[in-house]
Amino acid sequence: MTMPLSQVVHPYVKQQPDLAGGAPVVAGTKFPVRSVVQYVLRQGMTPEELVREFPQLTLTKIYDALSYYYDHQESIDREMEDNTESNWRSRA
């Protein structure tokens, strides 16, 4: 994975141990970055549609979450894989 030349600040993405199991979330919400990626990049929902469905989000926050994803793609992809139904079933 290519690392950014400098540390990019993502003001609309926060990570706290007590929110979403420590996964990065959209600031001011409990909405994980992985969910933004799933809706927009995997399912093809537009950012505008996502804002209509989840009014706690804004376009600015969605685009920052996507930017964060591209800066941390490997770890977010791993997190998404860990949160699949088949992985949860195999743990049970």
Which domains, and CATH codes, for the chain? 13-80 (1.10.10.10)
pLDDT at 87: 63
pTM for the full predicted model: 0.84
pLDDT at 3: 60
Q: How far apart are CA 69 and CA 44, in angstroms?
A: 16
pLDDT at 92: 65
71 alpha-carbon distance from chain centroid: 11
Residue 25, Cβ neighbours under 10 Å: how many? 22
As a whole number, mean pLDDT of residues 36-40 equals: 98
Which pair of structure tokens corresponds to residue 75? 């770890």
Stretch (H or E) spanning 77? helix 73-82
pLDDT at 2 over 90: no
- Quick one: pLDDT band at residue 5, thresholds 50, 70, 90? low
Q: How far apart are CA 16 and CA 80, in angstroms?
A: 18
Span 40-56, pLDDT tens digits:
999 999 999 999 999 99
Q: Which residue has the higher pLDDT, 69 or 88?
A: 69
